[in-house]
């Protein structure tokens, strides 16, 4: 059985074809914490301690997956979003800090209204947006939809785990005949697919080869397909003075802003994320 020290350096070395040294070390530390429940300092003090047989098997299984690019979050089935732990697997996108910024913007704008809001999350994935909003705005009635049955099951697992009452519907949002299953809302939010297929190769292997393409990619000839559908849906399903919030592809942010303005929305605003990229949109009916 490997010692904690040997396991760390072996994994770090094997990951460096995929990651730089710092990121490889970070992944190795996170995996060893997951396996041993000991933080970096605790493991350093016990660096010659050997894995148990079960820990060794976990480590070897994780090593096989990580070295072919499977994201750590899918190996541990754990991702953090706004300080809460979510279950994730290969059927849902891994929650990202940029999406946290979008959710915080919504909370900032809706909490002062102090009323029972009806919220729709389109393309819910792990459910992190919908669940976060429900937990932050307790009176809100939150509905989530996704085209993927498997994603809905992940969101359902997370809503139960985090004790958030969210209605979950399996719906292909681009099929407008199914919109009758949805009601009217004060807030509509979405982090839809927005990466043109032609840009797939610019992504890291752990994204392009392991995260669900259904949640990432759109046709090269229609990068705004989901935003157009959301804007159109909102004309009938967003209450007066209601808000739409979307996460954006920075390369199409200005086009998206123009789309909502041309569809008749007012106060259309786009914001940059922590990295300085145009990443979020808000529009009012």
Q: Which residue has the higher pLDDT, 121 or 200?
A: 121
Q: Which residue has the higher pLDDT, 115 or 223?
A: 223
- Global pTM reads 0.93
103 — pLDDT class (breaks 50, 70, 90): very high
- Judge contact between 58 and 33, C-beta under 8 A: no
Question: What is the reported pLDDT for 114?
Answer: 59
**168's tokens:** 């979950």
Question: What is the reported pLDDT for 260?
Answer: 98
Domain positions in the chain: 4-68, 90-284
195 — pLDDT class (breaks 50, 70, 90): confident
Q: Sign of dihedral through CA atoms 40, 45, 50, 51?
A: negative
Determine the Cα angle at 136 with ends 135 and 140, to 5°. 75
Residue carrying structure tokens 């010659």: 48
User: Does residue 116 surpass a pLDDT of 90?
Assistant: no
User: Does residue 221 surpass a pLDDT of 90?
Assistant: no
CA 112 to chain CA centroid, Å, is 26
Q: Regarding beta strands 195-196 and 217-218, do their DSSP bridges make them parallel or antiparallel, or are they unpaired?
A: parallel
Question: What is the reported pLDDT for 112?
Answer: 66
Residue carrying structure tokens 């098997």: 57
Question: b/e per residue, 167-194, with b = 16+ CB within 10 A?
Answer: ebeebebeeeeeeeebeebbbbbbbbbb
Question: What is the reported pLDDT for 220?
Answer: 82
pLDDT tens digits for 142-170? 999 999 999 999 999 999 999 999 999 99
Mean pLDDT for 166-189 is 96
Is 3.40.50.150 the CATH classification of the domain at 90-284? yes
- Judge contact between 94 and 88, C-beta under 8 A: yes
Residues facing 169 on adjacent strands: 145
Write the CB contacts of 122 (distance below 8 Å, at least 6 apart in sequence). 145, 173, 188, 189, 190, 192, 226, 230
Name the CA radius of gyration of the chain, rounded. Answer: 21
Give the mean pLDDT of the chain. Answer: 95
User: Does residue 239 surpass a pLDDT of 80?
Assistant: yes
Range with lowest mean pLDDT among 37-51, 125-139, 173-187, 195-209 = 195-209
Question: What is the reported pLDDT for 32?
Answer: 97
113 — pLDDT class (breaks 50, 70, 90): low
Compute the distance between CA of residue 43 and CA of residue 256 in angstroms, rounded to an integer. Answer: 49
């Amino acid at each position: 059985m490997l010692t904690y020290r040997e396991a760390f350096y072996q994994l770090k070395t094997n990951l460096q074809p995929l990651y730089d040294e710092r990121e490889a070390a970070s992944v190795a530390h996170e995996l060893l914490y997951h396996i041993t429940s000991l933080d970096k300092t605790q493991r350093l003090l016990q660096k010659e301690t050997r894995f148990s047989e079960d820990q060794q098997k976990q480590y070897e299984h994780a090593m096989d997956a990580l070295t072919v690019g499977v994201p750590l979050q899918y190996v541990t089935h754990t991702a953090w979003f706004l300080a809460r732990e979510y279950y994730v697997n290969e059927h849902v996108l891994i929650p990202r800090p940029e999406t946290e910024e979008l959710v915080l913007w919504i909370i900032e704008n809706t909490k002062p209204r102090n009323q029972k809001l009806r919220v729709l999350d389109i393309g819910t994935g792990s459910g992190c947006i919908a669940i976060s909003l429900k937990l932050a705005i307790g009176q809100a009635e939150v509905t989530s939809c996704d085209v993927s049955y498997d994603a809905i099951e992940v969101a359902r697992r997370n809503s139960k785990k985090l004790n958030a009452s969210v209605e979950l519907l399996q719906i292909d949002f681009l099929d407008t005949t199914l919109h009758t299953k949805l009601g009217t809302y004060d807030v509509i939010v979405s982090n839809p697919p927005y990466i043109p297929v032609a840009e797939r190769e610019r992504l890291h292997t752990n994204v392009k080869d392991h995260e669900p393409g259904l949640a990432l990619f759109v046709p090269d000839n229609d990068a705004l397909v989901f935003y157009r559908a959301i804007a159109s849906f909102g004309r009938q399903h967003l209450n007066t003075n209601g808000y739409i919030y979307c996460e954006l592809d920075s390369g199409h942010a200005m086009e998206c802003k123009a789309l909502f303005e041309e569809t008749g929305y007012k106060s259309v605003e786009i914001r940059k994320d922590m990295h300085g990229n145009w990443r979020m949109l808000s529009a009012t009916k």
